[in-house]
Amino acid sequence: MRITLGVTGGVAAYKAAELARRLQQEGFSVQVVMTRSAREFIAPLTFAALTGEKVITDLFAAPSGGPANLDSAIEHIAVAQRTDLLLVAPATADTLAKFARGLADDFLSTLYLAAAAPVVVAPAMNVNMWRHPATQENIAMLRARGVRIVEPGEGYLACGMTGAGRLAEIDEILAAVREALQLKRDLAGETLLVTAGPTCEDLDPVRYLTNRSSGRMGYAVAEAAARRGARVILISGPTALAAPEGVERVSVRTAEEMHRAVLEKFPACTAAVFAAAVADYRPVEKLPQKMKRNKAPLTIALEPTPDILADLARQKGQRVLVGFAAETEHVAENARKKLAAKNADLIVANDVSAPGAGFDLDTNIVTLYARDARENALPQMSKFEVAQRILDEVLRLRATPRLVPAARRSQA
């Protein structure tokens, strides 16, 4: 996940260097945005060295000896679109006022208006500035808009006064970041198996059958589970995605390879999420040489691939199994049928033809169909947020006793 760290002009700006380091230790990518005043207290080079990322210091950046870079005029939009959270620490009274009143006269304040991601601010200032009615009014306005405020601590301040105004402790700020990103640690001790991406079924050395899956949904589940404390085994078909921090990835190509990998890793897991778009069919024969084009019609014989979810459901024991149903019509009907036919505990279903849902997008629109007949239709949200909801449901189902069908109870 990517965090944009805004650093504003106060004595506590030096503490932001340690904050950036701690964020990286937790697996976040960090890009720093500095106000002009912040650069009076700490050099951008410090943050560039710590994060390995470009430090943004101006709304209109000018290359050395050249005119202003026109691309930088919309850079705040690009940064806003790719960040998962905007964290401002320390946040001065001036910055809080700009945010509250919608003023945008530098990169950070413009980025705040453009960002749809969660926002966390950690104020730091003189005690009288903090207590001033104008500052408190601005804080109240930001809270009402959903901004998380990490209250300043009390103690001896740089100005020589004692009272509220010290930048909150880094652990407090990190806790607020985790809360804003819904990063709980409630999966500690669990081992989660996740499948993701497409499979490729070879027709000849050049051609193969596949689908449009990018793997984003499965990778989001793996990342969310790892951040919530689980050991995660990610069995992935071919994708361009990097494995999330701390996740064990097993790369496969075909449905048969994925089936074998899942069977090998399944005994160690306590829950499994089958998000991969596994090919349902493969060519009966893989030709040893490239098939040549001719004018005659071509018929290709196909055979079913292994049904991974159904196979594993027969040996799931107390594990919670989650399947996916990517549909183009009759979504609810098909999802309920799959839930029963596959003996799954949860089916995540979506209409892949709907705007904002489906393959190779950052967002999704799904409905969760659970074994206890609970159905939860989610609005459009990021795939990471969908992943969090899926994991919440996995935990709920683990805590819910399995119901024995009436027919089986009568035979007992």
Please write the tens of the pLDDT for every residue from 146-160. Answer: 999 999 988 766 666
Both tokens assigned to 13 = 């700006």
CA quadruple 82, 85, 87, 93: dihedral sign = positive
Q: Give all domains of the chain, ordered by start, each with its CATH number.
A: 2-180 (3.40.50.1950), 191-398 (3.40.50.10300)
Please write the tens of the pLDDT for every residue from 154-211. Answer: 876 666 666 677 899 999 999 999 889 876 788 999 999 999 999 999 999 999 999 9
The more confident residue out of 123 and 67 is: 123
Are 248 and 266 a contacting pair, CB within 8 Å? no
Map residue 28 onto helix, strand or coil: coil
Please write the tens of the pLDDT for every residue from 115-148. Answer: 988 999 999 998 999 999 999 999 999 999 999 9
Please write the tens of the pLDDT for every residue from 283-311. Answer: 999 999 999 998 899 999 999 999 999 99
As a whole number, mean pLDDT of residues 95-116 equals 94
As a whole number, mean pLDDT of residues 378-396 equals 92
* Rounded Cα distance, 113 and 109, in Å: 7
As a whole number, mean pLDDT of residues 33-61 equals 91
Catalytic (active-site) positions: 159
Are 258 and 233 a contacting pair, CB within 8 Å? no
pLDDT band at 56 (very low <50, low <70, confident <90, very high): very high
Are 129 and 163 a contacting pair, CB within 8 Å? no
